Every structure is written in structure tokens, then in C-alpha cells.
Amino acid sequence: MIVVTGAAGFIASCLVTRLNAANFNDIVVVDNFAVEHKLPNLSGKRLKQYVDRNEFFDWLDENYEQVEFIFHLGARTDTTEQNRGVLDLLNLDYSKQMWQACCRYQLPLVYASSAATYGLGTVGYDDDEALLHLLQPLNAYGDSKNDFDKWAVAQPEKPFFWAGLKFFNVYGPNEYHKGRMASVILHAYQQIQQTGSMTLFRSHNPDYADGEQKRDFVYVKDVVEVCYFLMQTRQHSGIYNLGTGEARTFLDLALNTFAALGRTADIQFQDTPEVIRDKYQYFTQANMEKLRSIGYDRPFTRLEDGIADYVQNYLVPNQYM
């Protein structure tokens, strides 16, 4: 059996689809299934069992001999969450418990970290574990992810294989439930369909023109391919960036969304809200050399191709992956 936590969420539900496509059907999905608006993400998938996240460790104590691999992708991912208690409970303490269980039962583990750990990128975007203590996240969510990364690396006892994945700006199907935390592409699509235009944040940095702020946008289909690769190889434990290695502008994103819809671009700009202006990232770009060095050689989807696939094959027909 393969365990996937956060399974009704965005990336994890796409991973379940990828596993099913490879004929892995004994999948145990773990989540808070009372959040009903996420459940369509799992509809039609071949699953072994649903386990509530609060009951998972008791379940694992009884079933660990049947478990082959654990993907721990469940987390509180709201970057505006201010309740440190909630973040400590779900992102730090739960992950520590998962790590310790994987050590106890000798289970391989892939878990979700985040590029939010890099903050403004003042020390770069290198997934060198020696630099973890220098990182300065901009919010409590990023702190919680970096705190766990530092804790994991410092542990004398580790799972026989483990990997922490620093997801950059992931976009793609199955993020419909995420509301304001969904990718800018989903928001762009919705704005264009409703109003015929799209609004981006104006630049307040003299080094960047309006719309030229850059992010490393990575398609969720690439993310799950990396997860699948790590499950298959189970070598070279460590923390890895998961982006494309190429920063693209928000203007690129907007223009390609219009193009995917066959619409003429109409882009407006508004001031970045003052409450987030001093913490706004103008550039992120994953250094992908470390993942490449362990044998991952698949090309990452170009932004143009990823947006076209997402818009035309999922958003327009309202389909799930």
C-alpha cells in the first residue's frame, strides 16, 4: 500500500491519479474528509481506504507491515495564517510524528516543504541543507516549513530514504477548492471569463516594470512526476527544490492565459496592497541542479504549454485530473 496524506488536496490528488496510471491502486488516502468541497478531487480514483488524519497513526501502528511508501503532502498551506498553534500542530508536530513513525517502521518518506522558506531570496534559492539556518521566511507558514526542514536534517535517526520537496509556484488541475490561495492562472482564467480583462499587481520596485515580477511557475504534472521518480529510485535522501529552474513574468502568465482562451489580451494594473507590499517577492527561481544530479532528466513543461493544457483541457470543460 502507498499512503498519501493531504490526499483530497491539490498536489496530492494529482499524485493519486499518477499512481493509478502506473497501476498502483492500493492507495490509502489520509485527510480531513469533512471538508466536502475538496472531495471531488478524489472522485473516480482507485483507492484502498480512507483514513482520517487524526486516526492515521493508530492505523499505521496496526498496518505498517503492508505499507510500501508514504507521501506526506498534507499541511496548512495558507500563507496568511497567523495562528502559530495551528501551524505548529499541522505542519511541524504532525510531520515530526510522521518522521518518527517512518523511522520506527523503516518506511520511505517524501514530504512537502515549500519555496516559502526562502523568503525574499536574500541568500539565493539553493537547496543546500547547510544554508537552512540562514533562511528568513516572510510568514508563519514559511517558518513552519523551514522549522521542520531544520529539525529533520538534524535528526540522528532518519528513514532509510527520505526527501523534502520545496515546491515553488505550482499550478494546474484540482486546485479549484483553494480560493484566494489558488494559482494566479486560475484567478486569471476566472477574471477573463467574467470580465474579459485581468488585473495584475503594479510594481513598486524600480528594478521591475509592471507585470515583470517573476516567479518559477511549475506545472503540477511535473511535480507528481518527480514524486513518482523518487518513489521508484529511493536513493540520495535530502531536501530538493521543485520548480522548473526558469523564472517567468506575471505578464507572460497573463498573455498565455488569454492566448489559451483565444481572447485578445486586456491587462490592467492595481497597487500591491500595503499590508503585503514590504513582503512581496519580485523574483523566485529554483536551482534545479541537485535534483538533476541524482538522475531526474525529464524536461519541465514550458509555461506556454502548461497553461494551454490546464486552460483548455481542465478549466474550460471543468475537469479534474
Residue 282 — very low, low, confident or very high, per pLDDT cuts 50/70/90?
very high
Residue 139 — very low, low, confident or very high, per pLDDT cuts 50/70/90?
confident
Q: Write down the residue that cell numbers 512537502 correspond to.
A: 112
**What integer pLDDT is reported at residue 96 of this predicted model?**
96
Helix spans in 29-139 (H): 56-63, 84-87, 94-105
Residue 167 near residue 113, CB atoms below 8 Å:
yes
Q: Is the pLDDT of residue 81 over 60?
A: no
Q: Is the pLDDT of residue 1 over 70?
A: yes
| 3 three-class SS | strand
Share of the chain above pLDDT 70, in %: 96
178 is in an annotated binding site: yes
- Residue bearing the bigger pLDDT, 89 or 165: 165
**For 220-224, what is the mean pLDDT?**
98
**For 31-57, what is the mean pLDDT?**
96
Buried (b) or exposed (e) across 271-305, using 16+ Cβ within 10 A? ebeeeeeeeebebbbbbbebbeeeebeeebbebee
Environment class of 210 (CB within 10 Å of its CB; exposed 0-12, middle 13-18, buried 19+):
middle
Side-chain-facing half-sphere of 12: CA atoms under 13 Å: 27
**What integer pLDDT is reported at residue 78 of this predicted model?**
61
Concatenated DSSP letters for 159-212? Answer: -SSEEEEEE-EEE-TT-GGGGGGS-HHHHHHHHHHHHS-EEEEPP-STTS-TT-
**What integer pLDDT is reported at residue 52 of this predicted model?**
96
Residue 303 — very low, low, confident or very high, per pLDDT cuts 50/70/90?
very high
170 is in an annotated binding site: yes
187 is in an annotated binding site: yes
pTM check: above 0.85: yes
**For 169-174, what is the mean pLDDT?**
98
Environment class of 195 (CB within 10 Å of its CB; exposed 0-12, middle 13-18, buried 19+):
exposed
**What integer pLDDT is reported at residue 311 of this predicted model?**
98
Residue 239: which residues within 8 A CB-CB, separation 6 or more? Answer: 113, 127, 129, 132, 149, 153, 163, 164, 165, 166
203 is in an annotated binding site: yes
254 is in an annotated binding site: no
Tell which residue, 11, 147, 16, 144, has the closest CA to residue 76: 144
Catalytic residues: 141, 178
**What integer pLDDT is reported at residue 141 of this predicted model?**
86
**What integer pLDDT is reported at residue 91 of this predicted model?**
75
150 is in an annotated binding site: no
Q: Tens of pLDDT along 227-258? A: 999 999 999 999 999 999 999 999 999 999 99
180 is in an annotated binding site: yes
Q: Tens of pLDDT along 42-52? A: 999 999 999 99
219 is in an annotated binding site: no
Q: Is the pLDDT of residue 294 over 70?
A: yes
| 272 three-class SS | coil
145 is in an annotated binding site: yes
- Residue bearing the bigger pLDDT, 275 or 211: 211
Q: Is the pLDDT of residue 25 over 90?
A: yes
Q: Is the pLDDT of residue 278 over 90?
A: no
Helix spans in the chain (H): 10-21, 56-63, 84-87, 94-105, 140-154, 184-195, 220-233, 250-260, 274-277, 289-293, 303-310
